[in-house]
Amino acid sequence: MMIRIGVSARHVHVSDEDLRILFGDGYKLTKKVDLSQPGQYACNEQVVLEGPKGVIQKVRILGPERDKTQVEISRTDSFVLGITPPVRNSGDLEDAAEITIIGPKGKITKNAAIIATRHIHATSMDAKKYGFKDKEFVSIVVKGEKGGILENVYVRISDKFSFEAHLDTDDANAFLINNEDMAELIIK
Amino acid sequence: MMIRIGVSARHVHVSDEDLRILFGDGYKLTKKVDLSQPGQYACNEQVVLEGPKGVIQKVRILGPERDKTQVEISRTDSFVLGITPPVRNSGDLEDAAEITIIGPKGKITKNAAIIATRHIHATSMDAKKYGFKDKEFVSIVVKGEKGGILENVYVRISDKFSFEAHLDTDDANAFLINNEDMAELIIK
């Protein structure tokens, strides 16, 4: 079966509390553009990421606000910053790397940085149709001059989702994948 | 069979003529450290790469001098610079992207930028032992949280080589590979 690829650039999810620190009391996120997953959007707001070795400017916040602030970066980014984030599913900040997030009104330092696990979003209809289960791992086959197989792609099922595989920019750039490319999904 | 991985960071090979332009008449490259391939070395000399969209500082020259100047970058680098280099074997500059190389004494602009094809260096003994041929394509299997299979790995055979697979930093970072890691090589 074929699946659309969404390439996730580095980004930040913020809690209400941290948003106030970064942008000031009473600040609300403003939508720049809707993302492919229903209800998710890229914001106009950007922050700076700082680690012991370097900084990365203009990192976009994705809305809406979440319970916990989470910074999703690539391994390439982690070398620039000088931190060692673990590979984690979104929402799992166990052993997340310490990072400083700088906004126009303030900054926070917390253990919030992860490299996102490769994953697919699917509805229960997609799962039934294609024969995979929530929380199992599947693989993605990519054609082309730098093709191959991306393994350990985590399946997340929710009827709020749109069927799509999310890869980070390291995976995309290694395999010459562009956002919205189609690739083959294989179940073990 | 297992093979050692060498991670190739962005680098530049220079011709005698271009070395003179970049570093001045009569300049000779100076060795910083030997590389794993016999006779190849990283130099103390560094240059700046410039494209229409940005620059990358401190890019190392690898010695010795070559017939043609060649700039090997990752796709991630290509987005920073704003150029679209093709995937090419070392030495093949057909349709190479235009790039400006800036040294302490001068600069050159030429069609010299490529993304290096994934490749392995092997001797004829290695080829015989493991059963692969010059110029064929093999695959590399990587274990781990972001594991998978890197395909289209080009075999280069010379008795001057040391047995090793060369991947760029996009491939390495996508698969959490460190320099000198071992991985499994598979023949189709």
Predicted confidence (pLDDT) per residue in A62-102, tens digit: 999 999 999 999 999 999 999 999 999 999 999 999 999 99
Q: What average pLDDT does range B43-68 have in this prediction?
A: 98
A-chain residues near B152 (CB < 8 A):
145-148
Contact B147 A152 (CB under 8 A): yes
A92 to chain B, closest Cα gap in Å: 15
The bridge status of strand A11-13 relative to strand A55-63 is parallel
Q: Among A8, A151, A168, which would you mutate to test the B interface (most chain B Cβ atoms within 10 Å of its Cβ)?
A: A151
Interchain pair B176, A151: CB under 8 A:
no
pLDDT for res A188: 74
Q: Mutation target for A interface from B142, B150, B151: give the one with most A CBs within 10 A.
A: B151
Please, how many CA atoms are within 13 Å of residue A120, restricted to the half-sphere of its CB? 33
- Length of chain B counted residue by residue: 188
Confidence of residue B132 (pLDDT cuts 50, 70, 90): very high
> ipTM of this predicted complex?
0.95
In chain B, residues with a C-beta closer than 8 Å to the C-beta of A173 are: 74-76, 79, 170, 174
Contacts A146 to B, Cβ<8 Å: 87, 115, 118, 150, 152, 171
Cα atoms found within 13 Å of the Cα of residue A71, Cβ hemisphere only: 33
Put simply, the answer to whether A151 touches B149 (Cβ < 8 Å) is yes
Say if residues B177 and B183 touch (Cβ distance below 8 Å): yes
Enumerate residues 6+ apart whose C-beta is below 8 A from A148: A141, A142, A175, B139, B148, B149, B150, B151, B152
Which pLDDT belongs to residue A31? 98
Secondary element (H or E) of residue B77: helix B75-81
What is the distance between the terminal CA atoms of chain B, rounded to a whole angstrom?
13
- Asked if A7 and A58 count as a contact pair (C-beta separation under 8 A), the reply is no
Cβ-Cβ contacts under 8 Å, A79 against chain B: 173
Q: What is the mean pLDDT of residues B78-94?
A: 98
Q: Which CATH number fits domain B119-186: 3.30.460.80, 3.90.870.10, 2.30.33.40, 2.40.40.20?
A: 2.40.40.20
Nearest chain B CA: its distance from A48 CA (Å): 18
Q: Given CA atoms B143, B149, B150, B153 in this order, what sign does their dihedral have?
A: positive
- The one-letter code for the residue type at B65 is E
Q: What percent of chain B has pLDDT over 70?
A: 100
The domain locations on chain B are 11-116, 119-186
Contact B76 A148 (CB under 8 A): no
B152 closest CB neighbour out of A147, A150, A170: A147
Residue pLDDT, tens place only, B73-82? 999 999 999 9
The residues of chain A scoring below 70 in pLDDT are none
* CB < 8 Å to B117, chain A: 145
- Which of B79, B87, B175 is opposite residue A145, by nearest beta carbon? B87
**The whole model's pTM is what?**
0.96
B188 — pLDDT class (breaks 50, 70, 90): confident
Minimal-distance CA residue of chain B relative to A137? B145
User: Under an 8 A CB cutoff, do A173 and B74 touch?
Assistant: yes
Residue A133's pLDDT is what?
Answer: 94
> Can you tell me the mean pLDDT for B155-171?
96
When pLDDT is cut at 50, 70 and 90, the band that residue B48 belongs to is: very high
